[in-house]
Amino acid sequence: MPDISVKVDGLHFDNPFVIGSGPPGTNKNVICKAFKEGWGGVIAKTVSLECDKVKNVAPRYGKLKSRQHGEVIGFENIELISDRPIEVWEKEFRQIKEEYPNKILIASIMEEYEEWRWKELTERCEAAGADGFELNLSCPHGLPERAMGAAMGQNSDMVENVCRWVRGATKKPVWAKMTPNITDITVPASHAIKGGASGIAAINTILSVVGINLETLRPMPTVEGYSLPGGYSCQAVRPIALRMVSQIAREFPDTALSGIGGVECGDDAVQFILLGSHTVQVCTGAMLQGYGMVKHLIEGLESFMEKHGFETIEDFRGHSLQFFKTHANLVEHQIQAKRERAGQANRDNEWDGDSINRQTDQLTSDGSESKKSPASQPQPAK
């Protein structure tokens, strides 16, 4: 049986599967349910010092379904951070850690851009038993209007300072959660690390409009006739999340990395690990499938490891990163491969009269191969 435990940033996870910050980690009851079902860790719903400023609306979710089978492929939310008081969270963190001392409980925190706020929030969550911190620098809706969330995550100086403030307040792991609503995710990630973050979590949701209701002509989700762009998640975002995770992993190979975005089964999670993630978070998947999905995630991971003969997660973590090259490299590889294939194919009895000139060219090495290769020729537009 392969060992699927993960040691990262001083934390020991039974398995790499972690509930991502959101509804599946929104209070003590659901967090305990997650641990009972077998999740390795939970990132609690993002907490702040002043919950009375958090005013949620309903409805606040929208689904994009596949045309053929109606399966949910994309999910938009305009939900804010936790509307529960920090005092309640402190009490519940303590109770959760008493009940599940060996499970990893990470506090997701967000505040306005003032040092004392981030420090107080960090110290209070740590005193209540949090094993580490995820800094929500990435929520794309509602909070940016208060200069929080993605508004901070899109400003590298702010990212660096917030990470420095939190680093100054705790010795526990500090993971900065990145917004994908940015051109180059490695820029804020580098500032987070410079500020003292020991890990990066990616990605938060992608700013989106899930659709327009063609009866009412109103965008969705519709609240009293109106809407705003919200955060997109679920399987549709996975390719973007994988790309961003790979960029972070290649740039910062020594930093703890938690991959998030569209994970629904073991095979999805394995892809994040192959691109360098130590842990893999799931939010929408757990909302749609329930907490029991972790059993399928574990089965999928174990059967992948058995198939390839991997004994530990470290045996394959980041393995696929080496296969990313520049486009020019791919062209070169293709030229080389064609040359080798031609050499293998051209045994004496394979010469044919009609294409003798092409076969002669293929076997000729005169430095002009790249010019002859169709791969390097401009192709007519289709």
Ligand X SMILES: Cc1cc2nc3c(=O)[nH]c(=O)nc-3n(C[C@H](O)[C@H](O)[C@H](O)COP(=O)(O)O)c2cc1C
Q: Is 40 in the site for ligand X (CB under 6 A)?
A: no
**Phi, psi angles (nearest 5°) of residue 76:** -110, 140
- Closest approach of Cβ 328 to ligand X, in Å? 33
Q: Can 139 be counted among the known catalytic residues?
A: yes
Binders in 340-359 for ligand X, by CB under 6 A: none
| 364 exposure class (CB count in 10 Å sphere: 0-12, 13-18, 19+) | exposed
Of 86, 260, 275, 294, the one binding ligand X by CB under 6 A: 260
By three-state DSSP, how is residue 28 classified? helix
Q: List CB contacts of 355: < 8 A, sequence separation 6 or more.
A: none
Closest to ligand X by CB, 290 vs 343, is 290
Identify the CA nearest to 40 among candidates 23, 19, 10: 19
Stretch that binds ligand X, among 72-80, 86-94, 160-168, 246-254 (CB under 6 A): 72-80
Q: Which stretch binds ligand X (CB under 6 A): 18-26, 293-301, 304-312, 313-321?
A: 18-26
List the one residue from 106, 285, 291, 318 that touches ligand X (CB under 6 A).
285
Minimum distance of ligand X from residue 20's CB (angstroms) = 3
Instruction: Choose, by CB under 6 A, the member of 4, 11, 42, 45 that binds ligand X.
Output: 45
Q: Which of 77, 198, 208, 247 binds ligand X (CB under 6 A)?
A: 77
Q: How many CB atoms lie within 10 A of CB 145?
A: 10
**Stretch binding ligand X (CB under 6 A), from 1-9, 15-23, 119-127, 158-166:** 15-23
How far apart are alpha carbons 233 and 260 in whole angstroms?
Answer: 9
Asked if 22 touches ligand X (CB under 6 A), the answer is: yes
Within 300-339, which residues bind ligand X (CB under 6 A)? none
Is residue 81 close enough to count as binding ligand X by CB under 6 A? yes
Rg of the chain over all Cα atoms, to the nearest angstrom: 24
Q: Is 205 in the site for ligand X (CB under 6 A)?
A: yes
Single residue of 96, 139, 150, 189 touching ligand X by CB under 6 A: 139
What 8-state DSSP symbol labels residue 172? Answer: S
- The pairing of beta strand 41-43 with beta strand 104-109: parallel
Q: Which long-range contacts (CB under 8 A, 24 or more apart) does 312-316 make?
A: 312/2, 312/3, 313/3, 313/4, 313/5, 313/6, 313/16, 313/273, 313/278, 316/273, 316/274
User: CB of residue 77 vs ligand X: minimum separation in angstroms?
Assistant: 4
Which residue from 77, 88, 146, 72 is spatially nearest to 113, judged by alpha carbons?
A: 146
Instruction: In angstroms, give the least distance from the CB of 282 to ligand X.
Output: 5
d(CA 124, CA 273): 32
User: Which stretch, 75-83, 86-94, 97-105, 344-352, contacts ligand X (CB under 6 A)?
Assistant: 75-83
Q: Rank residues 192 and 362 by Cβ distance to ligand X and give the closer one.
A: 192
- Using rule CB under 6 A, residue 79 touches ligand X: yes
Contact between 208 and ligand X by CB under 6 A: the answer reads: no
Rule CB under 6 A: choose which of 2, 14, 23, 113 binds ligand X. 23
Among the listed residues 32, 51, 125, 139, the single catalytic one is 139
> Closest CB to ligand X among 265 and 375?
265
Nearer to ligand X, 52 or 350 (CB): 52
Q: Segment 220-259, which members bind ligand X (CB under 6 A)? A: 233-234, 237
* Residue corresponding to tokens 């995630």: 297
CA–CA separation, 164 vs 210, rounded Å? 36
- Contact by Cβ (8 Å): 187, 248: no
Q: What is the DSSP string of 212-270?
A: EETTTTEESS-BTTB---EEEESGGGHHHHHHHHHHHHHH-TTSEEEEESS--SHHHHH
Active site residues: 139
- Per CB under 6 A, residues contacting ligand X are 20-23, 45-46, 75, 77, 79, 81, 108, 136, 139, 177, 204-205, 233-234, 237, 260-263, 282-285
